[in-house]
Amino acid sequence: MASGLTDGLTSSTSAQFTVLRQRYVAGLASRWAEIASAEDTQTLLAALHRLAGSAASFGYERLGHCARRAEARASEGNAAALAAALEEIQTEMALLA
């Protein structure tokens, strides 16, 4: 969805979408804080689920995929794989910031 997402929109609408994307990126630090501070699997899964369900709608498909992967690893209870998946999210967020 990312680059072609705004095809066909007027320049004004496309500009509004750009602003929304910037707002979303500005909120990623608090989303990461939710993930990093989760004290139990259920809270972690909920935070990852929200990230996975929103990122690609703003055109950030890779971040969404990383979140989906981490959600799956957290469900499986595989601590090492989960740690790697969370690191991917952090890396992806740093690239967007």
Query: Using CB under 8 A, which of the segments 32-40, 56-64, 75-83, 84-92 binds other proteins?
Result: 56-64
Instruction: Measure the CA–CA gap between 92 and 62, rounded to whole angstroms.
Output: 8
If the CB atoms of residues 54 and 88 are measured against other proteins, the closer one turns out to be: 54
Residue of 32, 50, 72, 88 that binds other proteins (CB under 8 A): 50
Angle at 61 between CA 58 and CA 63, to 5 degrees: 95
Q: Is 33 in the site for other proteins (CB under 8 A)?
A: no
**Residue 20 makes contact with other proteins by CB under 8 A:** yes
Binding site for other proteins (CB under 8 A): 1, 5-9, 13, 16-17, 20, 23-24, 27, 46, 49-50, 52-58, 64
